[in-house]
Amino acid sequence: MNKLFLTGNEAAVLGAIDAGAKIMFGYPITPATEILQGWISKAEKNETLRYLQTEDEIAAGFGVVGAVLAGTKSFTASAGPGHILLQDPLAMAENLRIPFVGIMMQRGGPSTGTVNFSQQEVNLAAFGGNGDGLRIVYSAGSVAEMYEFTVKAFDVAWKYRFPTILLGDGYLGKAAMTVELDKLLAPVSSYPILKELKESTNLRNCYSSEADLSEVLSKNIKDWQKVAPKIAETEKFRLSDANEVIFAHGLVASACKDAILALRKQGRKIGLLRAKTLNPLKGSDFRLALSSVKRAFVIESSLNQFSRIVKYETAGIKTPIFEISKPAEGFTSEEIVTKITEGVWTK
């Protein structure tokens, strides 16, 4: 384990390589462009790695689909408006259970917004496209997690065959930070989905009747429900004796950790439950935490996209949940401390 000075985008490239990815398709878009460029510079020194800069994100996403069908680990990276376009191939991947991996570095939206930062692509990642959201979504809170969750994304995608998205954000992508990486080895093997056997594989995503599609959906949903408990992950930070809890994810959750240490110094017994996976969410941890405290805060850089998921998973528990949202703007830990200490939280 060595100490490195890496940006989140650089860490993602290392993660993809260690995960066994062989082809990247991409279209430049801030703040994800460095992932494409970083991959390309690695590919120039390693002829087992290939890439294609496509004409748009749609072509990039379907390029990933094609390569994955051929049995090669492949991925793309994008953000904001590109993430919107990727819903087209993601929907196909969702229907056909294609191990699609995408790294989305969230930026301000809607529309072209900013190139900088947000947590506004949760809906897109988890529930975008025209399906019911059978996509695995990780949210990275550190440069180390940009590496670790990238490897994880490939593993779960190829093991369980659900499209998998790693959500980062512009700050995390572009911040160079000192980090120690646990090198992750023995990635899950890939295999061709168009099997190239004597008996042909014929895949369709269009069905003639409600019943035909329903049969496919039922199977996919059943599989999802079976693997969800194996995938859903959280981190508990200073939670065991807490009487207040912050629910957060990604880089915002990391800032929350500093805020919690400061608030603890002030005598507040507050902890953090961080969602590492947004979809599936580890609902049991959220329900337990919410039942054990007198109030909860959801802090996010979107208008309640994460909060909505949390509230769905904890419906029925009477503990009040207070939403602190700043769409498309980051939170410093000081700001979090101020908002919590100066807010009026009695109902």
Stretch that binds another protein, among 87-95, 137-145, 226-234, 280-288 (CB under 8 A): 87-95
Complex with another protein: residue 76 or 119, whichever CB lies closer: 76
Q: Give the neighbor-by-neighbor strand order of the sheet with 321-325.
A: 234-237, 270-275, 244-249, 295-300, 321-325
- 228-231: long-range pairs with CB below 8 Å, 24+: 228/280, 229/280, 230/160, 231/136, 231/156, 231/160, 231/277, 231/280
Residues 188-227 that bind another protein (CB under 8 A): 194-196, 198-209
Site for another protein (CB under 8 A): which residue of 6, 9, 12, 22?
A: 22
Judged by CB, which is closer to another protein: 178, or 200?
200
Q: Which is nearer to another protein, 58 or 184 (CB)?
A: 58
CA 197 from chain centre, in angstroms, equals 35
Which candidate, 336, 35, 307, 58, places its Cα nearest to that of 166? 35
Which residue pairs, CB below 8 angstroms and at least 24 apart, start in 199-208? 203/69, 203/96, 205/92, 205/95, 205/96
> Based on CB atoms, which residue is closest to another protein, 88 or 323?
88
What is the spatial distance between Cα 189 and Cα 56, in angstroms, rounded to a whole number? 29
* Number of other CB atoms surrounding residue 304 within 10 Å: 15
Distance of CA 155 to the CA centre of its chain: 14
> From the list 20, 37, 49, 54, which residue makes contact with another protein (rule: CB under 8 A)?
54
Residue 50 makes contact with another protein by CB under 8 A? yes
Can you tell me the distance from the alpha carbon of 129 to that of 264, in angstroms, rounded to the nearest whole number?
42
Closer to another protein by CB, 29 or 290: give it.
29
Q: Which is nearer to another protein, 53 or 319 (CB)?
A: 53
Verify binding: residue 242, another protein, rule CB under 8 A: no
Q: How far apart are CA 8 and CA 232, in angstroms?
A: 22
Query: Interaction with another protein in 270-309: which residues (CB under 8 A)?
Result: none
Q: Which is nearer to another protein, 69 or 246 (CB)?
A: 69
CB of 19 to another protein, least distance (A): 16
Q: Does 66 bind another protein (CB under 8 A)?
A: yes
If we measure between CA atoms, which residue out of 33, 68, 74, 71 comes closest to residue 50? Answer: 74
Q: Quick one: 74 or 305, whose CB is closer to another protein?
A: 74
Residues contacting another protein: total by CB under 8 A? 42
Could you say whether residue 72 binds another protein (CB under 8 A)?
yes
Residue 65 found at the interface with another protein (CB under 8 A): yes
The DSSP H or E segment spanning 298 is strand 295-300
Does 74 interact with another protein (rule: CB under 8 A)?
Answer: yes
We find the least distance from the C-beta atom of residue 61 to another protein, in angstroms, to be: 8
Smallest separation (angstroms) from another protein to the CB of 193: 9
Q: Which residues bind another protein (CB under 8 A)?
A: 22-23, 25, 50, 52, 54-56, 58-60, 62-72, 74, 88-89, 91-92, 194-196, 198-209
